[in-house]
């Protein structure tokens, strides 16, 4: 499904709106995991507004594609995507992480329409995604499961157990993304617990790895199209090189913005930076 220039223009506009909504939601919440939310915006945008088969008017549609955002602390980046897709009114985002709100810091699939799996305990998303994909195959269904991992959570052994299972059981109806922004709560991933040679590790675990710029829609399209057309018995992992805090100049590649709060003045600066990004 090659991407057109008009599609890229439309996706960039949608991503800009989503980034603005993430800023507003963070202000309303008094703080959120904004850095990692910003780094995965293009991944989420292209999935929800180009690829996946979902129906916001029927969130439990049986044959819908499933999306599992394993880095569940980035819920402040997921909720605005779902609102822009039409699952619920955007005004509801203003209650994010407040008392009696359906939107906790980690989104609950029992409370938030469009969330397939509750995540937040890192290292759980890929194992659950393998289970979903195996379930679809067992039932003869053709829907796909898309899993988005944070690079920091790849310290968790459960991910590598799931990777072995995905390879062993030839789970090719699962497409996995890693948001490789190189930062985690305590610092740079390579300082906290080195992941490199990261791509080689996934290859050794039996995956076909496509390493791309995770902010480039053409590269994302080519990688996703490759995964859809995959006729081998190996699952595909798309290793997305990204920038934490992408789009907000004073946040980019700064570990201090793994979690942070924004007042009205900083929000103005953040939005001005997002507008410049276009």
pLDDT, residue 2, reads 87
pLDDT, residue 113, reads 98
Q: How far, in Å, CA of 89 to CA of 112, rounded? A: 12
Domains (range + CATH), the chain: 5-277 (3.40.50.970)
Regions of the chain where pLDDT drops below 70: 1
pLDDT, residue 196, reads 98
The answer to whether the CB of 120 falls within 8 A of the CB of 51 is no
pLDDT, residue 143, reads 98
pLDDT, residue 105, reads 96
pLDDT, tens digit, 9 for 90 and up, residues 260-276:
999 999 999 999 999 99
Residues 6+ apart with CB under 8 A from 51: 1, 65, 224
Q: How far apart are the first and last CA of the chain?
A: 24
For residue 67, give the H/E element and its range.
strand 66-69
pLDDT, residue 278, reads 76
Give which of 172, 144, 150, 173 is closest to 52, Cα–Cα: 144
DSSP 124-162: -HHHHHHHHHHHHHHTT----EEEEEESGGGGSHHHHHH
Q: How far, in Å, CA of 233 to CA of 255, rounded? A: 38
pLDDT, residue 100, reads 94
């Amino acid at each position: 499904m090659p991407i057109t220039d008009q599609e890229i223009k439309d996706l960039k506009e949608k991503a800009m709106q989503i980034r603005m909504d993430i800023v507003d939601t963070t202000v309303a919440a008094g703080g959120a995991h904004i850095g990692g939310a910003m780094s995965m915006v293009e991944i989420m945008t292209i999935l929800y507004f180009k690829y996946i088969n979902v129906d916001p008017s029927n969130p439990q549609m049986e044959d819908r594609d499933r999306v599992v955002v394993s880095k569940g602390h980035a819920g402040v980046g997921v909720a605005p995507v779902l609102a822009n897709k039409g699952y619920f009114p955007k005004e509801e985002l203003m209650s994010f992480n407040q008392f009696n709100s359906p939107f906790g810091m980690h989104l609950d699939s029992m409370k938030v329409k469009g969330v397939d799996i509750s995540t937040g305990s890192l290292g759980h998303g890929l194992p659950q995604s393998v289970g979903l994909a195996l379930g679809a195959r067992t039932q003869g269904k053709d829907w796909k499961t898309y899993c988005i991992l944070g690079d920091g959570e790849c310290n968790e052994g459960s991910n590598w157990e799931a990777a072995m299972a995905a390879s062993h059981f030839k789970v090719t109806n699962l497409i996995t993304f890693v948001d490789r922004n190189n930062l985690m709560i305590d610092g740079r991933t390579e300082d906290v617990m080195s992941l490199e040679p990261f791509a080689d590790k996934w290859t050794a675990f039996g995956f076909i790895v496509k390493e791309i710029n995770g902010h480039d829609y053409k590269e994302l399209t080519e990688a996703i199209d490759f995964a859809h057309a995959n006729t081998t018995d190996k699952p595909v992992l798309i290793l997305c090189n990204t920038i934490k805090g992408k789009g907000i100049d004073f946040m980019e590649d700064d570990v201090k913005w793994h979690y942070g709060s924004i007042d009205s003045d900083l929000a103005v600066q953040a939005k001005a930076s997002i507008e410049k990004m276009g």
